[in-house]
Structure 1
Amino acid sequence: MKRIYFIRHGKSSWKENIEDFDRPLAPRGEKAAELIGEYLSKHYSNRVIAAFSSAANRAKSTLQIVAKHFSFSSIELQEELYTFNNMTLQYQIAHLENDLEEVALFGHNPAFEMLVSQFTGKRFEKFPTCALAVVEFEEVDWKLCQKGTLIDYVVPKELG
């Protein structure tokens, strides 16, 4: 069985003259990441989860804040996760090491929204910043993960 925790980066700053890759989190994004970290700690503290993040500043910062509350088994930044394309993201998932049972992915829309919808058959009209979607698969090989079950979905607004 495989499980993915999709965590979209927190709300970012839109200050002028900053490249998209380098945009920092806005204060609201920092607070949302704290809430998601607390939620993971409360509801998933017994899980062994490896974290992979887009190397973009806002995704990396979201991971760092969440990791203050939840102890990931490992953390890795991947340039390839700086993608807005669901097919690219699915390719990255298919090439995860099979000894990993559960992974948290910190990344971007519309890739997350589209891929979670594709995996679960549920249409997401919106996948807000710092939203968490947990998808579980019956498969034991990441390459075979095509259809899963949405077992949790939470947005920071619901938490505080």
Structure 2
Amino acid sequence: MKHLVLCRHAKSSWKYPVEDCYRPLNKRGLLNAVDMARCLANEELNGKSFDCPQLILCSHSVRTYATALAYIEENRWPISVLSLEPLIYEASGQTLLSILAKVKKSVNSLWLVAHNPGLNLLAEYLLGKELENIVTSAQLHISLDIENWKELLEQKTIVSKSKLVHWLQPSML
């Protein structure tokens, strides 16, 4: 069994004249990221507390990195679980899927901190249905009845092995 959390970065600021990759979080984004991280610390999934992920794959953009750091700091996770992956930035759903399929078999708990529309497309592929927009700061917790992340590429069977366990977004807090 594998556990995957898809997390969209918190709300970014358009206040500064910087390239898209360097946009920071705005005030609401900073507050939402911290609130969502604190909520996770108290969250129970499948009757047990949510543990530290073994790996957090994160886009190298400032807004995704800041979002991931909020979770790491609020939950006292080791920074060593964080891996910045430039290919995640503005990636398609298919590219995100390919990145996940390369994760080591030994990793059972994985987070992906990324961007839309790729994140939505990935979630729809895994769950086999159209989903509403994954808003900024939202988390989707998906359980996967697989032994190896490579199995994500088996389109005909992955839907039957995937289950949306929990969807949390700031408006629910």
Normalised by the size of structure 1, how large is the TM-score? 0.93
Distance across 2 between alignment mates of 1:46 and 1:125: 25
Instruction: Tell me which amino acid in the other structure corresponds to 2:101.
Output: A
Alignment: residue pair count: 159
1:140 is the counterpart of 2:154: no
Q: Deviations over 1:3-51 (max 9, x none)?
A: 1111100000012521010000011111110111012211254524121
Instruction: Tell me which amino acid in the other structure corresponds to 1:36.
Output: M
Question: In the superposition, relative to structure 1, how do residues 115 and 46 fare at CA in structure 2: closer, same or farther (>3 Å)?
Answer: closer
Distance across 1 between alignment mates of 2:96 and 2:35: 25
1:86 is the counterpart of 2:93: yes
Structure 2 gap segments, 5+ residues each: 153-157
Instruction: Quote how far apart the aligned CAs of 1:71 are.
Output: 3.5
Aligned to 1:155: 169
Percent identity, aligned pairs only?
26
Say which is worse superposed, 36-45 or 89-98, in terms of deviation: 36-45
Check the 8 A contact 2:16/2:23 in 1, yes or no: no
1:68 is the counterpart of 2:82: no
List 4+ stretches of structure 1 deviating above 6 A: none
1:42 is the counterpart of 2:60: no
Higher share in helix: 2
CA RMSD of aligned residues (A): 1.5
Which has the greater radius of gyration? 2
Distance across 2 between alignment mates of 1:46 and 1:65: 16
Normalised by the size of structure 2, how large is the TM-score? 0.86
Instruction: Quote how far apart the aligned CAs of 1:113 are.
Output: 0.8
Secondary structure (helix, strand or coil) at the match of 1:69 reads helix
Distance across 2 between alignment mates of 1:70 and 1:117: 28
Structural mapping, 1:98-137, within 5 Å:
98-137=105-144
